[in-house]
Structure 1
């Protein structure tokens, strides 16, 4: 089993969007996929409840109170972390993870929070010893805007892997309203956006390959 933790203490940075679309991509690829929701808003669990039966199934777990057991046979576990997560909870979640993904918006406040959070992560033993793969994802990018160019410069200066830059589009709320990921949508509508996820999915696949060796 490979566990992907999606985390950033800044609320509203797109953690649930990243988590649900990753889960959708894994399920569509044939992996037994579980999505654990740690956030009190339970956005990911609400998304799963909306998911039509004809699409690849995703199992939802309520981890809002504590980390629970994972069903046998799970190949991909995506963990949607809460905002404003306590340091002790960060440590516990990091212990469960193989991959840690940090979504960042083109915003001064998001950048400051991300910088502080990376300092917290760097103090944790699994991170210091390179036992966990950590990567950043630029989220809700608006092409050719000053804010997005500034975000790209900010990410480039952090000495961390930046695995994907995900553009802002109404396809995400449209898909999520029906319990879908953009990978479940018709290629004629979504392909140019799903392509932006390929570097991120390759990054995760490489971690899985190294773990299985």
Structure 2
């Protein structure tokens, strides 16, 4: 079983969007996939409840009170972590994970929070000794803007691999409203945005 933890202590940086799309991509690839929601808002589970039965199946777990175990036969576990993680929660979740996916938005506040979170991660031996992979994802970027340029400079200097940059698009909100992901949607628009995800999916598969 490969476990992917999607985490950052900054709220609103796109953790649930990334977690749900990663889970859907895995299910669409034919893997037995579980999506565990650690956030008390249960946004991932809400998305899963809207997901049509005709799409590749996903199992949802409510870990908002207690972290449990994935069912037998799970091939890929995606964990949607809440913001404001406590140190013990970070330690427990990172211990479970094979890959930590860290989304970051353009903006000074998000950069500050991301630096603090990376500092906490680097205090853990598994991260400091490179036994756990950390994939930084630039999220909701608009090309040729000052914010995008600033984020590129920030991401280039934090010492962790920037795996991909996801463009800002209404397609994510449209998909989430009906329990879909980019990987469930037909058409050229969805296909173009799926291209942004290819480096991240490849990185995870090679872990």
TM range (shorter): over 0.9
Distance in 1, matches of 2:147 and 2:128, equals 31
| Pairwise CA distance, 1:131 | 1.4
Alignment partner of 1:151 is 2:151: yes
Equivalent position of 1:210 in the other structure? none
Equivalent position of 1:89 in the other structure? 89
| Pairwise CA distance, 1:129 | 2.2
Distance in 1, matches of 2:187 and 2:68, equals 36
Runs of 4+ in 1 over 3 A off after TM superposition: none
| Pairwise CA distance, 1:69 | 1.6
So what's the TM-score if we normalise by structure 1? 0.96
Which blocks of at least 5 consecutive residues in structure 1 are unaligned?
Answer: 208-213
Equivalent position of 1:7 in the other structure? 7
Distance in 2, matches of 1:103 and 1:154, equals 13
Distance in 1, matches of 2:151 and 2:123, equals 24
Distance in 2, matches of 1:10 and 1:111, equals 9
- 3-state secondary structure, aligned to 1:139: strand
Distance in 2, matches of 1:194 and 1:27, equals 15
Equivalent position of 1:102 in the other structure? 102
**C-alpha RMSD of matched pairs (Å):** 0.7
Distance in 2, matches of 1:187 and 1:157, equals 36
Equivalent position of 1:200 in the other structure? 200
Distance in 1, matches of 2:105 and 2:85, equals 18
Distance in 1, matches of 2:16 and 2:5, equals 11
- 3-state secondary structure, aligned to 2:22: helix
| Pairwise CA distance, 1:122 | 0.4
| Pairwise CA distance, 1:42 | 0.5
Equivalent position of 2:139 in the other structure? 139
Which blocks of at least 5 consecutive residues in structure 2 are unaligned?
Answer: none
